[in-house]
Structure 1
């Protein structure tokens, strides 16, 4: 019986030993089939990795934001951190790598095991700050920098303001934060920098002013000269005893006007250059070439060790099971017919990285540094996108480029709701897609993407005299034409309605257009003749005034109302105006017999002068003071001042002395001679 028990015990021990040996063999087999990876369970978490970096230095600047926060700014961050008065630890990370800033800072603090002020900064500024074991007004400092600074101040200036408020202590920091919040409600801080659209607006305004101002000066000068000629009679009646200096020569005036316009253009250009002097849309220090390539080198170095690189600065999105599964699929694809290496980079892609967020450009840079053919996959743990690029494997390029399903590259609604974007599941689907991709006869080289803009080009503003500057020139010219026309019209109305203080007949506007319209002549003749009739009724003891009134009435058959009816000859209407004005002048005691022979509407003549009435002809005419000055300073300026009457037949205007053979032609010989001609024409003696 004892012997049986002993045999039974030996058999039990043998079976147990066989079971243990079998288990060990299976363990060794699985260990051989699935080799251990450097980044499997023992890989550090995001918080552990960042705590290790802060253990080395109190400021850690990521290599993923070279365009916004180059790593060379770390010493400046460290200098500012020392001014807070408490141990300060700073993490500069992409916002895409941080899910919960407060939780991340807490986890990093726990891993680091040191008390102090922990600050999180992204490419815009301070985003989170928490004090552990120290007395620091983190919340008030954060609020102050948020409300006091404009949105484009940048991360370094944001942290500088944050550190400044922390150093002031809790009481002052609380008061400053409250004041900043109150001020922000009334008026947000003005931006520190302008963007390309602002520069285009500046260029547009500069173009408008550069053509508009000089052209307006030239046009106003031309309109002014025209108005002086046309409405010279609107000025007060010249006094023969008064002498004025001759007007400047036309060439001198033209040169002065052109010089003024040129000076205005130069002033606009210089002022615009001084005022719109910004050359960049950001105050970020340009990164060095080493900073621009640091991230790609880091990822490439990791991929040389392991075909799956997980960004240690980002939250982990693949658990150990998914990671082992992906490694197995990559190994299978590498050993398959027509397959090859697959490199997966789980790295966020931001617009501030070296490739400006272009996944294809990043994959090409990593491939160049790895130096091996393969399919390079860029999986973004932040937004969940997946991009795959073939560099040197025998895979159908079109299928990989055009037929990769959106469910893999972008995900679906389930991926959007999942914190890890189901990247493990979708990367597994990508490997299945690669397995089914047709092979080609020869390796297919990847396309060469266009380079990303350099950081200097990325923030450089267009030149001031470019972009919308050219349309601005056109708009400025149009605006100058329109504004000058409006101002000329207003000036004409003012001159037409102006009543000089010393004008004897201030109740009527004394105007003298060079080319009057028929309606103006009818209206003015009726007004002047009616005024003379009224004034003569009050003072009938002026024989000269009676002679002129009588002659004017003869021209309209003793009916002043006839003057305003259509059909009356323009020369007759001018004669009525001249006689009526001469009669009203006689009622005031002035007895001017001479009338300006250049334009009878100018009023009394001050002297007889040989004046040029055409390019080749001269005539001896009485001239008013203005015409006299013009004849002296600018003889060729007289022909444009000649009164030109509308032709009854609708033809071109001609000088008044050529328009008729009636009494108006006697103007150069005096008002008395005009009266005689009227009476002779009417048969009255």
Structure 2
């Protein structure tokens, strides 16, 4: 009995030990299971951030597995997909396996994208990331290539508008040079850039082309017109400058020279205008405002076709090139809400598009234009289209054909849904899952209407094919430039005339000419020859201009007489002569110059003279008036002012012999009384009326 009890107790202890071992093992198993569940839950909570990068990298790696160069379809205005062969050709210059990703800049901001793509692809080589403008990142895995230095060279050696393809070319050139040369080149480029020596832009914009057109128009009219105005003026100024010697030239040769000179100048001006017209397009030879090539139709439709195909299979389409912003649970919840709304009374289809909206895309970043194009690809399906940007987090909603009061509901969406708040800005996923859920709540509560509504036609985007083409040079502002050129030429001519006038004054002050009193004629013949009148007029002009000086001390009388004299002098210059070459003037004009020049000097000397001798204006100032005979035939008399000689030393019958007669321009033997000339007839009436007559005659001609 004792033995049996002992054996029973031993068996019970053994059974208890066995049961304890089983319980211990079961407890351990349960503990491990709990730890696994906890770890799985923690991993599940952290899954969105890891999966977002991994999903994007997995998609890009799959594309590179097919082709080592991948060009996005989201930048057709800047980098059409059709340029992929160009990037592939340039990539061969590196000499190592090269994998190229051309993506929107915002889609490449994630840290470690190239690392993730390399891990997914599992191939060594040179990995290059390119955005809309330049090479943004490059890494070498298992190969020797100065990736960082080459990227620095591409960034600092080229201007911003060089374009991504040219940037990649510069990058591969640096890679091919080797590590040492690439490092030196990168350091030199960085130093120049930091010193302010930035590379000049390669392209111009529409406003620059307008400026070029304006400048061309101004040059075509302004330069030739300035030649026609300034060349003769400067030539006359040079001949009339103080101290210049008078020119003597044969009359026939002089006429030919003047005529040929005018024709030569006119031909040169016309040739200049023609030369500017022909050479301006060679100087301003830009035809495009950007390095981007014109996209083809297939480039502009590639993304739209991709999105439409995805929506035809699933009402929620997430762009695989962009970081993932909705996890599995959020996608399932969004699908459930879409299904609920679609089956509700007055509801309908809902399409959610998680695709970036970028200025360089086919719709020029216009969500409404993008939505309308996608809807057309879907055969014009009605429904609510929600466009959410995975890169910026913006949400836009458009209703096509559903009987919903979306005007008030969608236009008054809270900004926390449309644009997000500060928390959404800080989150990598922009909290799009929560905001889309809130949007679906608003959509469920939107009032139903009797008639369907649509947003109407979207605002048209610019033509992506022609938007970078510059207008022709001879277009638009060119025509206004022609008029501005005339104004500019006149303004420049006025400034040049003012400067030359100042120079003339300075020359007179520095080199004053002595008054040539010894050269002044002491006798005034009654029948002067044409050569006598020319020489005397030239001498009197010199004496007058020397005495007049700067005109600072001149009174109104001397100034009026001086200006009237210069009217005739300028008339000679305009006719092809110069201030001291008066051959072009007729005898009466020469006499007027002599009379007014002497009257100017008399006024400067403060002599009280108002009229000249009526018998012969060359006698000088008049003292008094008297009736005198002016012809040997008959007894005809005229009241004339007389000089001191004619008043006191002349017999009544001698006046006809002293009367001034003028020679014909071509024959000195033919004489006519001076008062029969319209211009000189005002001489007996005084210097003031004579000067007025000169101005009236100049205006008439």
Does 2:348 match 1:369? Answer: no
- Which one of 191, 195, 207 corresponds to residue 197 of structure 1? 207
CA offsets, 1:579-617, max 9 Å, x none? 99xxxxxxxxxxxxxxxxxxxxxxxxxxx95239xxxxx
SS at match of 1:389: strand
Partners of 2:679 and 2:430 in 1: CA distance: 85
Note if contact 1:44-1:312 (Cα within 8 Å) is conserved in structure 2.
no
SS at match of 1:197: helix
Shift of 1:252: 6.2
Partners of 1:439 and 1:639 in 2: CA distance: 99
Shift of 1:228: 9.1
- Which one of 166, 172, 180 corresponds to residue 163 of structure 1? 172
Note if contact 2:138-2:148 (Cα within 8 Å) is conserved in structure 1.
yes
Does 2:270 match 1:216? Answer: no
Partners of 1:352 and 1:135 in 2: CA distance: 35
Partners of 2:482 and 2:354 in 1: CA distance: 51
User: Could you say if the C-alpha distance between residues 165 and 48 of structure 1 is closer, same or farther in structure 2, counting changes exceeding 3 Å?
Assistant: same
Partners of 2:237 and 2:328 in 1: CA distance: 91
Partners of 2:201 and 2:491 in 1: CA distance: 35
Which has the higher mean CA deviation after the structures are superposed, 134-143 or 452-461?
452-461
Note if contact 2:52-2:325 (Cα within 8 Å) is conserved in structure 1.
no
Partner of 1:569: 610
Q: CA RMSD in A?
A: 4.3
Which has the higher mean CA deviation after the structures are superposed, 484-493 or 171-180?
484-493
Partners of 1:105 and 1:640 in 2: CA distance: 97
Written as runs of structure 1 = structure 2, the 5 A alignment for 1:207-246 is: 207-220=217-230, 223=233, 235-237=244-246, 245-246=253-254
Shift of 1:175: 1.4
User: Could you say if the C-alpha distance between residues 523 and 649 of structure 1 is closer, same or farther in structure 2, counting changes exceeding 3 Å?
Assistant: closer
- Which one of 113, 120, 143 corresponds to residue 134 of structure 1? 143
Shift of 1:221: 5.5
Give ranges in structure 2 of 5+ residues lacking alignment: 1-50, 518-538, 563-594, 622-661
SS at match of 2:402: coil
Does 2:322 match 1:325? Answer: no
> How many residues in Structure 1 have an aligned counterpart in Structure 2?
535
Partners of 1:355 and 1:288 in 2: CA distance: 14
Partners of 1:646 and 1:422 in 2: CA distance: 102
Note if contact 1:348-1:382 (Cα within 8 Å) is conserved in structure 2.
yes
Note if contact 1:361-1:451 (Cα within 8 Å) is conserved in structure 2.
yes
Give ranges in structure 1 of 5+ residues lacking alignment: 1-40, 527-551, 581-607, 613-617, 623-637, 659-685
Partner of 1:112: 121
Note if contact 1:96-1:350 (Cα within 8 Å) is conserved in structure 2.
no
Partners of 2:500 and 2:693 in 1: CA distance: 26
Shift of 1:158: 0.7
* TM-score, normalised via structure 2 length: 0.67
User: Could you say if the C-alpha distance between residues 577 and 219 of structure 1 is closer, same or farther in structure 2, counting changes exceeding 3 Å?
Assistant: farther
Written as runs of structure 1 = structure 2, the 5 A alignment for 1:11-410 is: 45-100=55-110, 103-184=112-193, 185-220=195-230, 223=233, 235-237=244-246, 245-248=253-256, 256-371=264-379, 372-400=381-409, 402-410=411-419
User: Could you say if the C-alpha distance between residues 511 and 296 of structure 1 is closer, same or farther in structure 2, counting changes exceeding 3 Å?
Assistant: farther
Partners of 2:543 and 2:474 in 1: CA distance: 47
Partners of 2:267 and 2:176 in 1: CA distance: 59
Partners of 2:277 and 2:680 in 1: CA distance: 39
Note if contact 2:679-2:694 (Cα within 8 Å) is conserved in structure 1.
no
Shift of 1:195: 1.4
Partners of 2:99 and 2:611 in 1: CA distance: 96
Partners of 2:279 and 2:678 in 1: CA distance: 43
Shift of 1:233: 9.8
Written as runs of structure 1 = structure 2, the 5 A alignment for 1:592-607 is: none
Written as runs of structure 1 = structure 2, the 5 A alignment for 1:506-545 is: 510=542, 519=555, 522=558
Partners of 1:578 and 1:384 in 2: CA distance: 102
Partner of 2:693: 654
Partners of 2:159 and 2:109 in 1: CA distance: 25
CA offsets, 1:223-263, max 9 Å, x none? 5698699x599752455x97772234887666554443332
User: Could you say if the C-alpha distance between residues 647 and 640 of structure 1 is closer, same or farther in structure 2, counting changes exceeding 3 Å?
Assistant: closer
Partners of 1:641 and 1:410 in 2: CA distance: 91
Note if contact 1:207-1:472 (Cα within 8 Å) is conserved in structure 2.
yes
Partners of 1:113 and 1:642 in 2: CA distance: 111
Note if contact 2:679-2:693 (Cα within 8 Å) is conserved in structure 1.
no
Partners of 1:483 and 1:619 in 2: CA distance: 47
SS at match of 2:129: strand
- Which one of 475, 481, 499 corresponds to residue 466 of structure 1? 475
Partners of 1:183 and 1:510 in 2: CA distance: 64
CA offsets, 1:295-339, max 9 Å, x none? 011011111111111100000111222222211111111111111
* TM-score, normalised via structure 1 length: 0.69
Partners of 1:252 and 1:495 in 2: CA distance: 28
CA offsets, 1:346-367, max 9 Å, x none? 0111111111111111101111
User: Could you say if the C-alpha distance between residues 86 and 641 of structure 1 is closer, same or farther in structure 2, counting changes exceeding 3 Å?
Assistant: farther
SS at match of 1:300: helix
Note if contact 1:125-1:155 (Cα within 8 Å) is conserved in structure 2.
yes
Partners of 1:520 and 1:171 in 2: CA distance: 85
User: Does 1 or 2 have the higher relative contact order (CA < 8 Å, sep 6+)?
Assistant: 1
